[in-house]
């Protein structure tokens, strides 16, 4: 079980790799599309990377509801 802090830093690593987001910018209140300029195809890549890193699959119908970094952290926490 990863802690919230571990999930946040793991997600930040993924965001840096996939979308070039500076780790310091990957804070819970940030919107993927509005604040971090992550497009829909990159979100699919992020979901795949989350599954690899945390063993948590994000179904397509859930992916659309994940708007912020905080939403993603909560989803991973609940489903890990």
Partner 1 sequence: MNFNNTDVVVTGLGATTPLGGDVASTWDALLAGKSGVTRITDEWIEPFPAQLVARLAQDPSEKIDRVRSRRLDRSQQVAVVAAEEAWADSGAGDAGYDSLRVAVVMGTGIGGAMTLLDQDDVLEAKGPKRVSPFTIPMLMPNGPAAAVGLAIGARGGVHAPVSACASGAEAIRWGLDMLRLDRADVVLVGGAEACVHPLPMAGFASMRAMSTRNDDPEHASRPFDAGRDGFVLAEGAAALVLERADAARARGAKVYGKLAGAGGTSDGYDLVAPHPEGEGAQRAIGAALRDAGLSPSDVGHVNAHATSTPVGDIAEAAAILEAIGDHAAVTATKSQSGHLLGAAGALESVFCLLALRDQVIPGTQNIEQLDDSAAVQKLDIVRGAPRKATFTAALNDSFGFGGHNMALVFTTA
Of residues 41-80, those binding partner 1 (CB under 8 A): 41-42, 44-45, 48
CB of 29 to partner 1, least distance (A): 22
Of residues 13-42, those binding partner 1 (CB under 8 A): 18-20, 41-42
CA distances in angstroms from 16 to 1, 46, 51, 60, listed in the order given: 23, 10, 16, 22
Contact 19, 37 (CB under 8 A): yes
Give the tokens for residue 4.
Answer: 């919230």
Between 4 and 55, name the residue whose CB sits nearer to partner 1. Answer: 55
Q: Given the rule CB under 8 A, which residues bind partner 1?
A: 18-20, 41-42, 44-45, 48
């Amino acid at each position: 079980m990863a802690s919230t802090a571990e999930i946040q830093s793991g997600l930040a690593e993924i965001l840096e790799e996939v979308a070039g987001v500076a780790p310091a910018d990957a804070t819970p209140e940030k919107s993927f599309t509005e604040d971090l300029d992550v497009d829909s195809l990159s979100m699919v890549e992020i979901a795949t990377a989350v599954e690899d890193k945390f063993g948590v699959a994000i179904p397509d119908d859930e992916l659309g509801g994940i708007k912020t970094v905080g939403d993603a952290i909560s989803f991973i926490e609940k489903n890990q």
